[in-house]
Amino acid sequence: MWTIIHKMGSPPWFFRFSGALVRWLLPLTIALLCVGAFWGLLIAPPDFRQGNSYRIIYIHVPAAVVALAGYYVMAFAGAVSLIWRIKMADVTMRAAAPVGAALTAIALFTGAIWGKPTWGAWWVWDARITSMLLLFFLYLGVVALFEAYENKTAAARACAVLSLIGTVNIPIIYKSVDWWYSLHQPASIKFMGESAIDSSMLYPLLLMIAAFYCLFVVAVLLNMRAEVLWRHRESGWIQQLVERA
Amino acid sequence: MSHDVPSVSLIAAFAGQFARHAKALINSPADVANPLLFFFMVVTLFPLGLGPDPERLSSMAPGILWVVALLASLMVSGKLFASDFEDGSLEQLMLSPYPLAILALAEVAAHWFATGALLALIAPVFGVMLGLPSEGLLVLTLSLLLGSVCLTLIGALGSALTVSIRRGGLLLSLLIIPLNVPVLIFGTTAVYEAVVGGNWVSWLALLGGLALGSLALLPIAIGAALRVSVDT
């Protein structure tokens, strides 16, 4: 166990391992995305009330789910880097933040597009939308704080502290926004209907969620590889890599 | 001379640190008056922007007062550790044998008395100006007293994270505002509930819980953030 963790912390080993992983994961991600999108957008039946406009859930829901999970990945990497001072954990945290922010932005954007035909407005202050917006701000805070520090080791530690406090705060934010919304609730908006989602719509959705998880991992790994290359551009093993290529 | 055994107890160190910061605040009354003036100015803007209709203003008063209190706390928290960082006292604190979290908490406490608590006590005056019904005034003060503990601690964390960055002001608001959302929601809801005669006690209890939780957790994070800022 410990040897694996130590290996993970070594940049040359990580670079080789992640290269192999990406070579497998990238085709898998593309395949999952194509099959899921084809199934969800063309084969799955239209919703009896929303018609075809509901199909945006095949982008919206996976993006939102992975965006939330991404914050925890980032905070966990931050905790590892604070406690054990493992360099690669810094890199992971740094790499996960912009990907998570992008996914949150996709979820908000697709939500707005979906809201127009369903609710008649681009934006309503619904509990889930508001929580997502706050998550977006939390991500942006981490990215901006990292960029503001010139010393990147210090930047990683500051971001780790921030993302850990954010992790403690996220459940409180979600619960409080929920209460806020139920207290101030305007005309009730029910769009998911009373019935649970049918399996003919659920399977492509699950496939798309899996695809987005893979996409997140691939994006973070590619981000990390770029960062490792940049940090170690002077070192011997990178020179060897370049010569061999 | 021994460097390992502290010559004064932890409580005395806390009190000393508190007194030092309090003295600094007393010596610069502008720092204490500025947030209050800011509060006054921004509250004045709302009737000008929304129109003088007393009914609308009184229904919006809890939200207005709480949002402006949050902004006032945001405005002052950026400076919390700035002078200590510039004159090197933060480095002295780090060399001292006491936990940094406790010493930082002493500074935050002095800061809270001068800004948060003072603002909470004065807020009913502005509440009356906006036509907040008298049932809400006491709860406004109580909610601001409890809420400003959280606001000040979160602001201190933001200040500790950004104190070594040259233009940290805008960044500070990005870091702090999302974290302050629960405080704002609980605080405004408590005042609304008091105005309509509902159950405001449970909302104050939630705020109290948040304040205690922040008191337990945030000083540790503030200490860690100060170490990062000084080490760079």
Query: Mean per-residue pLDDT for A175-190?
Result: 70
Confidence at residue A47, expressed as pLDDT on a 0 to 100 scale: 75
Q: Which residue of B has its CA nearest to A157?
A: B228
Check if B189 contacts A (Cβ < 8 Å): yes
Distance between CA atoms of A60 and A50, rounded to whole angstroms?
15
CA dist., res. B45 & res. B126, Å (int): 12
C-alpha distance from B36 to closest chain A C-alpha (Å): 28
Question: Pick from B177, B179, B181: which is nearest to A165 by CB?
Answer: B179
Residues comprising chain B, all counted: 232
* The pLDDT of residue B2: 44
Q: Quick check: ipTM above 0.90?
A: no
Residue A83's pLDDT is what? Answer: 87
Candidate from B178, B181, B225 with C-beta closest to A158: B225
For position B5, what pLDDT does the model report?
Answer: 58
**pLDDT the model gives residue A173:** 87
Distances (CA, A) of A169 to A50, A208, B203, B220, B231: 35, 29, 18, 15, 27
pLDDT band at A186, cuts 50/70/90? low
- The set of residues, in sequence order, having a beta carbon less than 8 Å from that of A208 and lying 6+ positions away, is A32, A33, A36, A37, A40, A58, A59, A61, A62
The shortest C-alpha distance from B96 to chain A (Å) reads 22
Residue of A nearest to B226 (CA): A158
The residues in A 60-99 lying below 8 A from B, measured between CB atoms, are 82
Nearest-by-Cβ selection for B185 from A148, A158, A176: A176
The topology (CATH level 3) of A22-41+50-186+197-244 is Four Helix Bundle (Hemerythrin (Met), subunit A) (1.20.120)
Nearest residue on chain A to B190, alpha-carbon basis: A180
Write down the pLDDT at residue B107.
92
Chain A interface, best mutation among B185, B199, B226, B227, by max A CB count within 10 A: B185
Round to whole Å and give the CA distance between A143 and A102: 11
**Model confidence at A194, in pLDDT bands (50, 70, 90)?**
very low
What pTM value is reported for the model? 0.88
B215 touches A at CB < 8 Å: no
Q: How far is C-alpha B101 from the geometric centre of its chain's CA atoms? A: 17
- Helix H segments across chain A? 2-8, 11-38, 57-84, 87-119, 127-148, 152-184, 199-231, 236-244
Q: Would you call A125 helix, strand, or coil by DSSP?
A: coil
* A179–B225 C-beta distance less than 8 A: no
Residues of B in contact with A154 (CB under 8 A): 164, 228-229, 231-232
Strand, coil or helix: A112: helix
Residue B231 to residue A154, Cβ atoms within 8 A: yes
Provide the pLDDT for residue A245: 75
Contact A221, A18 (CB under 8 A): yes
Q: How confident is the model at residue A189 (pLDDT cuts 50, 70, 90)?
A: very low
| Facing residue for B171 by CB, picked from A137, A148, A157 | A148
Average pLDDT over residues A90-116: 92
Q: What is the pLDDT of residues A105-130, one digit of tens each?
A: 999 999 888 888 887 888 888 888 88
Residue showing tokens 């003295």: B23
Residue A53 pLDDT greater than 60, yes or no: yes
User: CB contact, 8 Å: B163 with chain A?
Assistant: no
Residue type, B83: S
Domain positions in chain A: 22-41+50-186+197-244
Judged by a CB distance cut-off of 8 A, whether residue B121 touches chain A is no
Cβ-Cβ contacts under 8 Å, B232 against chain A: 149-151, 154
- What is d(CA A226, CA A245) in angstroms, rounded to the nearest whole number? 16
Nearest to B9 by CA among B96, B118, B69: B96
| Residues of chain B scoring pLDDT < 70 | 1-6
Distances (CA, A) of B117 to A32, A179, A187, B61, B152: 56, 27, 38, 19, 10
User: Cβ separation of B175 and A145 shorter than 8 Å?
Assistant: yes
Sign of CA dihedral A116, A98, B175, B180: positive
pLDDT recorded at residue B3: 53
pLDDT score, position B204: 94
Q: What pLDDT, in 10s, does the model give residues A202-231?
A: 888 899 999 999 999 999 999 999 988 888
